[in-house]
Structures are given as structure tokens and as C-alpha cells.
Amino acid sequence: MGALDLNWTEKYRPYKLDEVIGQTPIVDRLKAFVKTRNFPNMIFAGTAGVGKTTCAIAMAHELYGEKINEAFLELNASDERGINVIRVKVKEFARTLALSSDLVKIIFLDEADSLTPEAQHALRRTMEKYSATTRFILSANYASKIIEPIQSRCVVLRFKQLNEQEMEKYIVRIAEKEDLQVDKKTVEALIYVSDGDLRKLTNVLQSAWVLGTQISEKNIYDIAARARPKEITSMLRYAIDGDFAKARAELNTLILAQGMSGEDILMQCYREALNLDIEDKMKLRMVSAIGDYNFRMVEGANERIQLEAMLARFALFRTSKETS
């Protein structure tokens, strides 16, 4: 089965824990749980695309095999985040009899940090009532949004973001299975636009594959709607050198010609500001300014005006009292 085959996205494809990349300590613990068939309630915490859902489904497959649909319930809490989903779907599944006396069922709540506080308190009571027959796995990008009574009843497994070597290994594996031609620059572009998210990486690569098996760096940036690092760096360099007109022209190109959103540009500015060959004190000022303008944009301010204001502020760093 090819790595980009549509069957890869089947809800309960027979994943294996050994296929998970970059989460060896967590995978080893889950394997131990499968071997002993004894495990606690768990919270899978980490950013998107690092393997949380895959680990939950893989663990269920290795526990239940072909009977997975009878003993494993997956719900996306971001779709159904109210108290009714806990009172109806979760409670009804939890109260059903287990397949055998030595095996508990699993309820997997993806994006559990989207549940309302009321729903989380209802979930806590359900976890207490059916602890003998059911275990809960909660996946969350922000574990801090899970209420303390639930956190205290779970083991928190923190998934780390994948490094460049692990992502490159994944790209090579897909390229070999799908007969794709990718050079070093293309691999670097894929790693850059995905930012540690394997799900995003796979989607971008699959979209590029539709255009042909020869994958170019340009295709990756175009499909991901991201600027090349050198384009962001050039804009920032013009700004901190005091040439606001050229910096604004670069910004116009990113917004009008490439169709980038203000948030995407701001996030890339943050990444590239730290890589600029400038004194650390200037980097600190830039990061502080980017944080200010990010807050303004999140609060609903006009993206174009805020981005130009940010560049203007950079241009003033060397001449204003901000440099003192």
C-alpha cells in the first residue's frame, strides 16, 4: 500500500505502533500497556501532526484486532463539544459490557481541549463511574485547557515536535514507495512549510504529487501558500536597514502576488527574525514588536495596516529612541 494511497486515511486502517516516527519513549510505554493489557486513563498532549491520533488508533488495533469497532470509540470533541455528547454518546458506550472480563474498552476524545467546562465536568463523573470497564484517552493541543480533576485522573504523555532528521526520513520513505523525485531543496522546503506537522507535510506532498512525480521546491511553496525564507529575510532586512519603501514593496508581493495571509506572514517573520545576522539586542526588539502586532491582529485589527506598521517600527529602530 503506497504511503500516499487514499486508503491511508481510512478511519481504522491497521496502524502499528512501530510506524510512529519520533516518539520512541511514548511508543515504548504504549507497547508495554498493550503487552500487559493494563493501562490508565491518558492525556496525549502536543502540537498537531506529531502522532497523537495515530498512537491511539494503533494501540487500539493491537489490543482488539478485528473487534476494534466493538471496543473502541473515537469522537472529535471540536465537532461535538457540548455536554450532550458526554451524556449520550460517551455514557452509552461506556455502560455497555466489555468483550471479555480481562479487557477494557477505550473511548478516544480527539481535541478534548475544545470541550466546554460543563462537558469536562460531566466527563469526569463518567470516568469515575465506569472506571472498571472503560479507559479514556484524551488528545489535546493544549493540555492546560483540560480541567484539573480530569488531569489528576490521567497519565499525561507529552508528544514532542519532530526534528528535521525525523521528517527527512519520513519524506524519503514516502518518495521511495511512490517513486517520487525529490531533491535536497525540495526536502528542505517540505520541512520548512510543515513546521513539524507530519499531517501537513503529507497533504502538501500529495498535492504536489498530483502535478507529477517530479516534485520541485517551487511547487511546495506554491501549494503551501508560503514564502521562501529568503523572501521574508529580504523584507526584514530592508526594514531594519531603514528602507521602508522597499520593505513595503516586498510585503505587497507576498500579499498580492502570492496571496499570503497576514497571520502566515507574521509567523514567518517570527521564524526568520531569529535567524538574521544581527545583534541579539535587535532580535529581542523585533520579537517583542512581532508579539505586539500579533496580538493586535488576533484582536481583529486590519492585517495590512498592522504589517506595514510593524515594518515601519523596524525601520525606526536604528533612528528612534527605541534603540536606546
Please tell me whether residues 179 and 238 are part of one structural domain.
no
Asked whether residue 128 is assigned to any structural domain, the reply reads yes
3-state secondary structure of 265: helix
Residue that finishes a domain, picked among 196, 224, 252: 224
318 shares a domain with 193: no
Give the helix ranges, DSSP H, for 146-183: 148-151, 164-178
How far is it, in rounded angstroms, from Cα 40 to Cα 134?
10
**Cα atoms found within 13 Å of the Cα of residue 114, Cβ hemisphere only:** 13
Q: Are residues 148 and 197 in the same domain?
A: no
**Given this model, what pLDDT does residue 1 score?**
31
For the chain, what is the domain count?
3
CATH code for the domain of 78: 3.40.50.300
User: 233 with 291, same domain?
Assistant: yes
pLDDT at 200: 87
Res. 286 pLDDT band, cuts 50 70 90: very high
Q: Which tens digit of pLDDT belongs to each residue from 81-116?
A: 666 667 777 887 887 766 555 678 898 988 888 888
Query: Which whole number is the average pLDDT over 276-293?
Result: 92
Phi-psi domain of 19 (left: phi exceeds 0; alpha: psi -120 through 50; beta: other): alpha
Lowest mean pLDDT among 217-231, 265-279, 298-312: 217-231
Q: Are residues 133 and 254 in the same domain?
A: no
Residue 117 pLDDT more than 80? yes
Of 177, 198, 224, the last residue of a domain is 224
pLDDT top residue among 9 and 173: 173
| Host domain of residue 298 | 229-323
Q: Find the mean pLDDT for residues 11-40.
A: 84
Same structural domain for residues 144 and 115? Answer: yes
pLDDT digits (tens, 9 = 90+) for 191-224: 988 888 888 888 898 888 888 888 888 888 888 8
User: Domain containing 242 — which CATH number?
Assistant: 1.20.272.10
Q: Is residue 275 included in any domain, yes or no? A: yes
- Model pLDDT for residues 51-80, shown as the tens digit of each residue: 898 899 999 989 888 888 888 888 876 666
Give the highest mean pLDDT range of 117-121, 145-149, 198-202.
Answer: 145-149
End residue of a domain, out of 209, 224, 239: 224
Angle at 259 between CA 256 and CA 262, to 5 degrees: 95
Asked whether residue 176 falls in the same domain as residue 154, the answer is no
Q: What percent of the chain has pLDDT over 70?
A: 89
In this structure, the answer to whether residues 80 and 135 fall within a common structural domain is: yes
pLDDT-based confidence at residue 226 (cuts at 50, 70, 90): confident
* Partners of 140 in the β-ladder: 45
What lies within 8 Å, CB to CB, of 244 at 6+ separation is: 238, 311, 312, 315
Domain assignment present for residue 54? The answer is yes
Looking at the fold, whether 100 and 186 belong to one and the same domain comes out as: no
By mean pLDDT, which of 7-11, 21-25, 98-102, 144-148 is the weakest? 7-11
Domain check: are 220 and 233 in the same one? no
Same domain membership, residue 183 and residue 312: no
User: Nearest 10 degrees: CA dihedral of 148, 151, 152, 157?
Assistant: -150
Q: Please indicate, yes or no, if residue 212 is contained in any of the structural domains.
A: yes
Closest residue by Cα to residue 224 from 270, 266, 193, 259: 193
Joined together, the cell numbers standing for residue 145 give 485547557
Average pLDDT over residues 272-284: 90
* CATH of residue 188: 1.10.8.60
Answer yes or no: is 1 within a domain: no
Looking at every residue in the chain, the average pLDDT score rounds to 85
Residue 316 lies in a domain: yes
Residues 179, 213: Cα–Cα separation, whole Å: 7
Tell which residue, 141, 183, 187, has the closest CA to residue 167. Answer: 187
Same domain, 134 and 102: yes
Instruction: Please list, residue by residue across 149-178, b when 16 or more beta carbons sit within 10 angstroms of its beta carbon and e when fewer do.
Output: ebbebbeebebeebeeebbbebbeebbeeb
